[in-house]
Amino acid sequence: MLSQIIFYSAASGLLSLIGGIILLGNAEWVKKFSIHFVSFAAGALLAISFLDLLPESIEHAAEAGSISVETITLAAFVGFLAFFLFERLVLQFHYHHHEHDDQHLHATPTLLMTGDALHNFIDGVVIAGSFLVDPSLGLITTIGVAVHELPQEIGDFSILLHHGWSKAATLWANILISLTSVVGAIFAYILRDTIEPYLPHLLAATAGIFIYISAADLLPEIHARTKRDKSWHVIVLVFLGIAAVWILRNFVEGH
C-alpha cells in the first residue's frame, strides 16, 4: 500500500508539470507575453482558492462535525497574514544584502514556491487518505490532483521566467516542489490516525496563501505593467485562468 501511495503521489506532481515543460520550449515567446501568463496565473490562483481549496476545507469540516465555518475562515485569514509577514521578512533580507543594487527585487517567486510546497504537501496527504479508504478512489484522486494543478503549474513556470529565472532553474525548482506531495503522502500514511482532523485547517491556510500571492503581488503587477488602452486582453486572461480551473474542476467531479 505504501509503495502505491508513493508512486501515485509522485506521478500526480510530475504530470502536472507537463504544461510548464512545454512552455520552456518557447522562452522568447514567454518573455514577450509574460504579463499575459501572470494574468492567467492570478486568475487561476484565485479560482483554486475560492472554488477548490476553501470549499473542500469546508466540506471536510462539515464531515468532521466539530469544526465550524468560522474556524475555517480564520485558518485562511491566518495563512494570508502569515505570508504577508513572511514577504516583509524576505524583502527586508534582500534590502540588507542588496542595498547597492538598482534591480527591483520581488518576493513573489519565493512566496509562490513556498505556497506550492504546502499545497503539494496537502495534495499528498489527500491522495494517501484516499488510498487508505479505497485504492480505486486513490487512483481517481490522483488524476484529479494532477488535472487541477495543470493551469497553476503553467502559471508558476511563467512567473519564474518572468522574474528572470533560467529555464533549468525553473524546471528543477518545480520538479523538487512537486515531490513534496510524496513527503505529504508518507507523512499522512505514518500519522494517518492523527492528521485527518487538521486537514481542513491546512487546506484553508493554503487558500489564504494563494489569495495573498494573487491579490497582493500578481494583480498589482498587472496594473503597474499594463497600459490602459491595452488592458482588455489582460482582463480576459485573468478570467480565462478562473474559467480553466472551473472547467477542470467540474470535469473531474463529473467523472
Helix/strand/coil (H, E, C) string of 92-159?
HHHHHHCCCCCCCCCCHHHHHHHHHHHHHHHHHHHHHHHHHHCHHHHHHHHHHHHHHHHHHHHHHHHH
Q: Give the C-alpha separation, 122 to 133, whole Å.
A: 17
Average pLDDT value for the chain: 78
106: CB partners within 8 A, 6+ apart: 163, 217
Task: Tell me the residue type at 140.
Answer: I
Under the banding of pLDDT at 50, 70 and 90, the label for residue 99 is very low
Q: What is the pLDDT of residues 167-191, one digit of tens each?
A: 888 889 888 988 899 999 999 899 8
Q: What is the pLDDT of residues 11-48, one digit of tens each?
A: 887 877 776 777 777 656 656 666 777 788 888 889 88
Q: What is the mean pLDDT of residues 225-234?
A: 70
Show the cell assigned to 189.
500514511
Q: Give the C-alpha separation, 190 to 25, whole Å.
A: 40
- Any idea which of 19-28, 74-83, 229-238 has the lowest mean pLDDT? 19-28
Under the banding of pLDDT at 50, 70 and 90, the label for residue 72 is very high
- Exposed e or buried b per residue across 196-208, where buried means at least 16 C-beta atoms within 10 angstroms of its C-beta: beebbbbbbbbbb
- Could you give the percent of the chain with pLDDT greater than 70? 81
Q: Give the C-alpha separation, 33 to 166, whole Å.
A: 16
The reported pTM is: 0.70
- Note the pLDDT of residue 76: 94
Q: What is the mean pLDDT of residues 106-111?
A: 68
- Note the pLDDT of residue 182: 92
